[in-house]
Amino acid sequence: METNLQRIRTAIEDISRFNSTPGNGCTRFSYSKEDRMAKDYIIEKCLKLGLSVKVDAVGNIRARLEGTNPSLPVIMVGSHIDTVRHGGNFDGVVGVVGAMEAVSTLVENDVKLEHPVEIIVFAEEEGSNCGSTMVGSKALTGKYDIYDLHSLKSPSGVSCYELAKGFGLNPDQIGKHVLSPDEIKAMVELHIEQSVVLEREGLPIGIVEAIAGMKTIRIVAEGVPNHAGATPMGMRQDPMAASAQLISAVEFIARHKALPDTVATVGRIFCEPNVPNVIPGRVEFTVDIRDVEPQGIETARELIERELEAVSKAYGLRIWSESIGESESIRLSKAVSGAIEESARELEIPHMRMNSGAVHDAAMLAGITEVGMIFVPSRNGRSHVPEEHTDYEHIKLGCDILLRTIMKISEMK
């Protein structure tokens, strides 16, 4: 029994067409019309398989294949379909299509598992529309409540609550959809690696042992806007020059002062008034710090704060920071990882154990159930860009392992 390569390719290509920026990567924000069309496509496929489907208060889709013992906790498989702006066709989608394909294969072969299997499509994983990552999985696990939905805002100032409401959902019911530990036996997520390790090692499968934690900081530097030509260099209070020094320090700290696996990224910058011939008055930027080891994140954060204070004094500016998001590093389930590895060995598929530098919805469920992840290679390690690509043959191998892993988990006592 194996999954169907052509069906996998067709589903991924079909979903990729629901895109607001055709020809310039894939843009499919949660609660957009493209998100609606993609979710309708998935729901229709699930209904045709005979699954029961429900959509919760924030837009998570849960499609259930009943087990021979419906009272048993579910085995959850899936990922997300929302994207960053001008992203790729594979991030998240591979996990959703993989879950659909594994369940399709069980149904067409009339395989009855004791445990129910549930396809999950998480809402707003990327945070492109609400400004916070993994909104769907955080809501599902009780980490976000109705107050968070009101406080999270889109770039245009619309709250996540309003976005969900406008999408036809009932966000006031968020508390009624929180998943309890006794409802779920395990969760497995198939995902593209989004890095170069598997390709460099020439391997088609990675078995994730840990997911990096992250801390996102917003830094604001406030100075005095003035004429670019008439203000002497020694009389300036320039927040852009100060920010440039800080940004350079972020790179140096992550590379040389924190732990070996610590990474830090300045990914977004705002400048006011953002005019060529005016010294800026205000600069704001984000710093994303990640590591599997919590100490790496904290070391980088502390050193950045020290540098912030030094630069503030040197430039005579008010510079301040605040934490705008964080998640803990996660060690994944040895039992589920073992089932994934046993499946790979039985199928004679080369593989390796590895960590994930990217954060995933699976990490949010690790506090309430056994969680495992399967990685497939990303060409040249590229992700969140139009060039994002994973060979369909590798995706099929991941689907085959996912299918066998589901069956093994169902047999675990």
Delimit the domains of the chain by residue range: 5-211+329-411, 213-327
Q: What CATH homologous superfamily does 5-211+329-411 map to?
A: Zn peptidases (3.40.630.10)
Strand partners, 186: 75, 370
The first and second tokens of residue 62, run together, are 């849960």
The first and second tokens of residue 380, run together, are 């040249």
**Cβ 185 vs Cβ 73: under 8 Å:** yes
Question: Band of the pLDDT at 133, cuts 50, 70, 90?
Answer: confident
CA torsion sign, 26 to 129 to 210 to 196?
positive
According to DSSP, residue 358 is labeled S
327 pLDDT higher than 90:
no
- Cβ partners under 8 Å of residue 24, min gap 6: 86, 386
Q: CA 27 to CA 92: how far, in whole Å? A: 13
In angstroms, how far is the first alpha carbon of the chain from the final one? 24
206 pLDDT higher than 90:
yes
Angle, CA of 180, 353 and 265, to the nearest 5°: 80
Q: CA 400 to CA 394: how far, in whole Å? A: 10
Mean pLDDT of 73-96: 97
Asked: is 213-327 a CATH 3.30.70.360 domain? The reply is yes
The first and second tokens of residue 211, run together, are 């997911």
308 pLDDT higher than 90:
yes
371 pLDDT higher than 90:
yes
Question: Band of the pLDDT at 317, cuts 50, 70, 90?
Answer: very high
359 pLDDT higher than 90:
no
